[in-house]
């Protein structure tokens, strides 16, 4: 599966897409620039979730709490502290990973569904705190008009910034997934008992995995602020987490670039369906049902299967 | 946050009683969730939506009869049945084809229902707040050394043990209950005994969803009936089921007691962040007993 993406064909494809994205801004309307910058942030979020979900086999049901936490950390830094704005881009993800460590210390003691349900619940506590703590987080109004560094305060600036950060983060995550650490992770996904037997500290590995994933989710959170200039508690609400899970499922969560494709599809659909109807979640629900019934390996998984990559057969079986 | 001085014993008793009536609702909803989780292994995210639908059904039926006592009684009977019927259709139509899938898929599948139900409620009832008055017999309140205690909450305190007793009877004394408990432990073996496991699952699913609808019907007169009430309850129910032990109904009772009491007492001590107290209780429990207080069926 990894080889299938690491050959010349896929390198050329990725390079081509990147070149197009770099050259695009002067030729498209501002709205699309904004939309694509938002997509980049979401792509990063979905891929960071997939690092622990698809490759680590952890039921990370509430991932966006780290995303929202990073966004809030950045917003609070920018509005309440006198520190230079760029510093927030480093400190906010670190805050997210610390939250990942804190929640992880409680949750990794459990496995599978227990893990996921507890994480969902603890993440909801963080959401509730952000929602209630009016004097500090602005409650359900959130924080608006967050100042950004001059260089990226225009929509084109934000576009390039988000694109570059996302590409760098994706490359780092790709290297992590293919490192011995990532291989161990996949081993745990496929057979935790055996990993334990050969001397791997499964819980510690999962904890580190969660910290790393929450770091990248925090980066995605800062990118969201770069696009929107505001934060609100919905960023940490659990339904958003499950929406990101849908993105992973839609793209195909055993393939590195799958969630990126899923995020692109979902955000695009949401934007354009939202123009015509307010019942977007109804449509999302129906899409999800159809997906689970007919396409459990995801869009990219289907594509790779049709294009005859033999490697994906096992992936497809695993997904079913 | 000043403690001690302004909290009288009467206020404490009042708050405990209110906590206990809240526990009733939480227990009814989370025991249904726990039942489905224990036997079918489905973490049913749509459980909260069914609770919300139950509340809206109750509102509609009671309003049909001019919010009279008769209307409320009929609503209390038919709203949960409507929810059960809905869940039966969903189970037979879609869920029963998916039992072999892994948990994550099942969770996402139930989530898709929660999305669809959420918007369906918006389509049918609109996005306004609805409120329902309790029947005249249960309106008003009586006093506990000077502090008012709503009659409706007393009604809830009576209903709670009744439902618990009913569930005990159902799971321990009836044939379907015994089969369901056996299926929770080893579904292949139950199938080998010549029992149609698929229908047992359907029955358990419907009973679990009926409880969600019942919880929604009972809660309807006490709060605003609104979009988003599904999101709150499902997280609370998940927490209760976790600390009680997955699939254990008595664990759900214990968890609901812990959750309801810490929640209502928290309101007394620190109103703005009362929500923190139940979570702290849950984390404390899980630090010492990661798999919940009582034995889970998993």
Instruction: Tell me the three-class secondary structure of chain B, residue by residue.
Output: CCCCCCCCHHHHHHHHHHHHHHHHHHHHHHHHHHHHHHHHCCCCCCHHHHHHHHHHHHHHHHHHCCCCHHHHHHHHHHHHHHHHHHHHHHHHHCHHHCCCCCHHHHHHHHHHHHHHHHHHHHHHHCCCCECCCCCHHHCCEEEECCEEEEHHHHHHHHHHHHHHHHHHHHHHHCHHHHHHHHHHHCHHHHHHCCCCHHHHHHHHHHHHHHHHHHHHHHHHHHCCECCCHHHHHHHHHHHHHHHHCCCCHHHHHHHHHHHHHHHHHHHHHCHHHCCHHHHHHHHHHHHHCCCCCCCCCC
Position A59 pLDDT exceeds 80: yes
Domain for residue A269, yes or no?
no
Place of tokens 């139940």: B278
Please give the average per-residue pLDDT across B79-91, as a whole number: 92
Quickly state the pLDDT bin for B256 (edges 50, 70, 90). Answer: very high
A109-125 pLDDT tens trace:
887 778 888 888 888 88
Q: Which residue has the tokens 């999101």?
A: B231
A300 or A162: which carries more pLDDT confidence?
A: A162
Mean pLDDT for chain A overall: 84
* Tokens 């129906």 -> residue: A286
pLDDT value at A306 more than 90: no
CA distances (Å), origin A62, targets A109, A125, B29, B127, B231:
16, 11, 22, 26, 14
B241 at the A interface (CB within 8 A)? Answer: yes
Which of B17-26, B64-73, B250-259 has the lowest average pLDDT? B64-73
- State percent of chain A over pLDDT 70: 93
Mean pLDDT, residues A279-294 taken together:
87
B208-248 tens-digit pLDDT: 999 999 999 998 888 888 888 888 899 889 889 988 888 88
- Chain B interface mutation, best of A124, A233, A287, highest count of B Cβ atoms under 10 Å: A124
The pair of structure tokens assigned to A220 is 């995605």
The number of beta carbons lying within 10 Å of the beta carbon of residue A27 is: 7
**ipTM score:** 0.81
CA distance, residue B84 to nearest chain A CA (Å): 21
A54: closest chain B residue by CA: B104
Residue B47 has pLDDT above 90, yes or no: yes
Chain A partners of B101 at a C-beta cutoff of 8 Å?
A: 292, 296, 320
Residues 143-202 on B with a CB inside 8 Å of A are none
Residue B53 has pLDDT above 90, yes or no: yes
Q: B243, B244, B241: which is closest to B287 by C-alpha? A: B243
Instruction: Give the residue among A93, A80, A78 at the shortest CA–CA distance from A228.
Output: A78
CA distances from residue A147 to A91, A144, A218, A224, A233 in whole angstroms, order as listed = 16, 9, 18, 13, 19
For residue range A88-104, list pLDDT tens digits in order: 889 999 999 999 999 99
pLDDT at B3 over 90: no
Q: Is B102 on the interface with A (CB under 8 A)?
A: no
Lowest mean pLDDT among A196-210, B3-17, B29-43, B61-75: B3-17
pLDDT value at residue A308: 60
A120:B238 CB<8 A: yes
Q: What's the CA gap between A87 and A98, in Å, rounded?
A: 17
* Rounded average pLDDT over A38-48: 93
Q: Does B270 touch chain A (CB under 8 A)?
A: no
Residue A242 to residue B119, Cβ atoms within 8 A: no
Residue whose token pair is 């057979």 = A191
- Determine, for residues A125 and B94 on separate chains, whether the beta-carbon distance falls below 8 Å: no
B287 and chain A: CB distance < 8 Å anywhere? yes
Minimal Cα distance from A53: which residue of B? B104
Classify residue A215: in a domain, yes or no.
yes
B120 near A CB under 8 A:
yes
- The average pLDDT across B54-58 equals 92
Q: What percent of chain B has pLDDT over 90?
A: 21
Closest in B108, B113, B291 to A245, CB measured: B108
Residue A174 inside a domain? The answer is: yes
Note the maximum CA span of chain A.
57
A115 reaches B (C-beta below 8 A): no
Give the DSSP letter of residue A231. Answer: B
Nearest to A117 among B43, B115, B120 (CB): B43
pTM of the model: 0.86
Structural contact between residues A222 and A166, judged by C-beta atoms closer than 8 angstroms: no
Residue B179 to residues B35, B248, B273: CA-CA distances in angstroms?
13, 15, 44
Instruction: Give the pLDDT mean for B254-279.
Output: 86
pLDDT tens-digit profile of B137-158? 777 777 777 777 888 888 888 8
In this prediction, residue B28 carries a pLDDT of 93
Dihedral over alpha carbons A32, A37, A38, A44 (to 10 degrees) = 140
What separation in angstroms does the CA of B253 have from each of A266, B96, B213, B229? Answer: 40, 28, 18, 21
The minimum CA-CA distance between A257 and chain B, rounded to whole Å, is 20
Burial class (CB in 10 A: 0-12, 13-18, 19+), B94: middle
If you count them, how many residues does chain B have?
298
- The dihedral built from the CA positions of residue A173, A177, A178 and A181, taken in this order, carries a sign that is positive
Assigned domain for A249 exists = no
Nearest to A125, CA basis, from A82, A62, A70, A188: A62
Residue B6, pLDDT score: 59
The answer to whether residue B131 neighbours chain A at the CB level (below 8 Å) is: no
* A300 within some domain: no
Higher pLDDT among residues B100 and B252, named by residue: B252
Residue A99 lies in domain = 12-237
Torsion of CA B292, B241, A243, B57, to 10 degrees: 180
pLDDT-based confidence at A70, cuts 50/70/90? very high
What confidence category does residue A223 fall into, taking pLDDT thresholds of 50, 70 and 90?
Answer: very high
Q: Does B231 touch chain A (CB under 8 A)?
A: yes
**A307 vs A241, more confident:** A241
**Rounded to an integer, what distance in angstroms lies between the CA atom of residue A188 and that of residue A111?**
12
Ranked by mean pLDDT, the top range of A157-171, B66-80, B260-274 is A157-171
Helix (H) or strand (E) holding A225: helix A202-228
φ, ψ for residue B104 (rounded to 5)? -60, -45
Please tell me if residue B282 touches chain A, with a CB cutoff of 8 Å: yes
Q: Is the pLDDT assigned to residue A3 strictly greater than 80?
A: no
| B269 Cβ under 8 Å from any chain A Cβ | no
Q: Tens of pLDDT along A160-191? A: 989 999 999 999 999 898 888 888 888 888 88
Question: What pLDDT score was predicted for residue B175?
Answer: 86
Determine how β-strand B141-144 pairs with β-strand B147-150. antiparallel
DSSP 3-state of A311: coil
Structural domain contains residue A251:
no
Q: Are A166 and A44 in contact (CB under 8 A)?
A: yes
Query: With 90 as the cut, is the pLDDT of residue A144 above it?
Result: no
* Number of compact structural domains in chain A: 1
pLDDT digits (tens, 9 = 90+) for B118-138: 889 988 988 888 888 877 777
- Res A312: pLDDT: 47
pLDDT tens readout for residues B168-188 = 888 888 888 888 888 878 878
Residues of chain B with C-beta less than 8 angstroms from the C-beta of A125: 275-276, 279
Which band of pLDDT confidence, cut at 50, 70 and 90, is reported for residue A320? very low
Mutation site for A-interface testing, chosen from B42, B116, B117 by largest number of A Cβ within 10 Å: B116
A 270-309: CB under 8 A from B: 278-279, 281-282, 284-286, 288-289, 292-293, 296
Task: Give the DSSP letter string of A136-186.
Answer: HH-GGG-B------GGG-SHHHHHHHHHHHHHHHHHHHHHHHHSHHHHHHH
User: If phi over 0 gives left and psi between -120 and 50 gives alpha, with beta otherwise, what is residue B126?
Assistant: left
Which residues are CB-neighbours of B12 under 8 A, at least 6 positions away?
B265, B268
pLDDT at residue A313 greater than cutoff 70: no
Helix (H) or strand (E) holding A125: helix A112-132
A279 contact residues in B (CB cutoff 8 A): 119, 122-123
pLDDT for res A310: 43
Report the distance separating Cα A109 and Cα A202, nearest Å: 10
Q: Which residue of B has its CA nearest to A288?
A: B112
Which residue in B108, B118, B122 is closest to A242 by CB distance?
Answer: B108
**A142 or A315, which is more confident?**
A142
Q: Which residues make Cβ contacts (< 8 Å) with residue A290, sequence separation at least 6?
A: none
Does residue A185 fall inside a structural domain? yes
- pLDDT at residue number A195: 85
Burial bucket for residue B257 (CB in 10 Å: 0-12, 13-18, 19+): middle
Q: Extract the runs of DSSP E, i.e. beta strands, from A32-139.
A: none
CB-based contact B286 A106, cutoff 8 Å: yes
Residues in chain B closer than 8 A to A132 (CB atoms): 272-273, 275
Residue B154 has what pLDDT? 85
Please state, in angstroms and rounded to a whole number, the distance separating the CA atoms of residues B89 and B82: 11
Chain A interface includes B290 (CB < 8 A): yes
Answer whether residue A314 shows pLDDT above 50. no
Residues of chain A neighbouring B105 (CB-CB closer than 8 A): 292, 296
* pLDDT attached to residue A1: 47
Rounded (10°) angle between helices B229-244 and B9-40: 80
| Token pair for A82 | 């006198």
Whether the CB of A140 is below 8 Å from some CB of chain B: the reply is: no
pLDDT at B1 over 50: no
DSSP code of A191?
-
Q: If pLDDT is split at 50, 70 and 90, which confidence band does A318 have?
A: very low
Residue A299 lies in a domain: no
Distance CA B15, CA B143 (A): 13
Q: Locate the DSSP E strands across chain A.
A: none
Neighbours of B174 (CB within 10 A): 11
CA distances in angstroms from A157 to A16, A33, A160, listed in the order given: 21, 10, 5
Nearest beta carbon to residue B235 from set A124, A249, A284: A124
């Amino acid at each position: 599966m990894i080889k299938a993406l690491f050959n010349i064909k896929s390198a050329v494809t990725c390079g081509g897409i990147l070149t197009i994205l770099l050259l695009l801004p002067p030729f498209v309307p501002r709205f699309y620039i904004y939309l694509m910058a938002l997509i980049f942030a979401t792509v990063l979020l979905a891929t960071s979730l997939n690092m622990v979900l698809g490759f680590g086999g952890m039921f990370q049901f509430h991932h966006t709490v780290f995303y929202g936490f990073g966004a809030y950390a950045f917003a609070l830094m920018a509005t309440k502290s006198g520190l230079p704005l760029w510093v927030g881009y480093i400190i906010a993800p670190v805050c997210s990973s610390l939250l990942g460590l804190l929640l992880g210390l409680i949750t990794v003691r459990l496995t599978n569904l227990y893990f996921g349900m507890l994480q969902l619940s603890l993440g909801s506590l963080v959401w509730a705190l952000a929602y209630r703590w009016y004097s500090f987080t602005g409650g359900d109004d959130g924080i608006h008009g967050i100042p950004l560094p001059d260089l990226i305060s225009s929509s084109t600036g934000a576009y390039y910034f988000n694109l570059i950060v996302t590409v760098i983060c994706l490359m780092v995550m790709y290297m992590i997934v293919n490192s011995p650490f990532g291989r161990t992770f996949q081993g745990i996904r496929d057979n935790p008992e055996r990993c334990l037997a050969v001397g791997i500290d499964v819980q510690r590995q999962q904890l580190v995995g969660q910290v790393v994933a929450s770091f990248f989710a925090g980066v995605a959170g800062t990118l969201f602020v770069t696009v929107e200039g505001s934060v609100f508690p919905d960023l940490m609400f659990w339904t958003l987490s499950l929406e990101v899970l849908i993105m992973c499922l839609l793209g195909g969560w055993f393939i590195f670039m799958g969630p990126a494709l899923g995020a692109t599809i979902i955000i695009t659909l949401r934007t354009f369906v939202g123009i015509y109807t307010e019942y977007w979640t109804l449509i999302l629900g129906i899409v999800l049902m159809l997906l689970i019934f007919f396409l459990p390996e995801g869009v990219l998984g289907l594509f790779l299967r049709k294009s005859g990559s033999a490697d994906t057969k096992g992936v497809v079986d695993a997904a079913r | 946050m000043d403690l001690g001085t302004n909290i009288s014993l009467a206020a404490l008793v009042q708050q405990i009683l209110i906590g206990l009536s809240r526990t009733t609702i939480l227990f009814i909803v989370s025991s249904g969730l726990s039942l489905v989780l224990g036997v079918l292994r489905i973490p049913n995210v749509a459980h909260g939506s069914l609770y919300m639908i139950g509340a809206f059904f109750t509102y509609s039926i009671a309003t049909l009869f001019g919010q009279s006592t008769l209307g409320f009684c009929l609503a209390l009977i038919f709203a949960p049945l409507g929810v059960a019927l809905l869940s039966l259709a969903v189970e037979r139509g879609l869920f029963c084809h998916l039992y072999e899938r892994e948990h994550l898929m099942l969770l996402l599948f139930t989530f898709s229902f929660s999305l669809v139900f959420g918007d369906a409620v918006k389509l049918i009832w609109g996005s306004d707040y609805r409120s329902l008055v309790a029947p005249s017999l249960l309106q008003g309140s009586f006093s506990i050394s000077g502090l008012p205690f709503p009659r409706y909450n007393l009604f809830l305190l009576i209903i709670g043990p009744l439902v618990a007793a009913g569930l005990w009877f159902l799971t321990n004394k009836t044939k379907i209950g015994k089969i369901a408990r056996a299926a929770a432990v080893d579904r292949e073996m139950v199938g080998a005994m010549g029992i149609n496991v698929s229908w047992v699952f359907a029955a358990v699913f419907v009973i679990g969803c009926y409880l969600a609808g019942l919880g929604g019907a009972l809660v309807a007169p006490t709060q605003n009936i609104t979009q988003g009430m599904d999101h709150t309850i499902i997280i609370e129910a998940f927490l209760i089921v976790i600390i009680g032990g997955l699939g254990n109904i008595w664990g759900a009772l214990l968890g609901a007691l812990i959750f309801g009491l810490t929640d209502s007492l928290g309101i007394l001590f620190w109103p703005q962040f009362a929500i923190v107290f139940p979570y702290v209780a849950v984390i404390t429990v899980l630090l010492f007993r990661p798999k919940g207080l009582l034995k889970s069926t998993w």
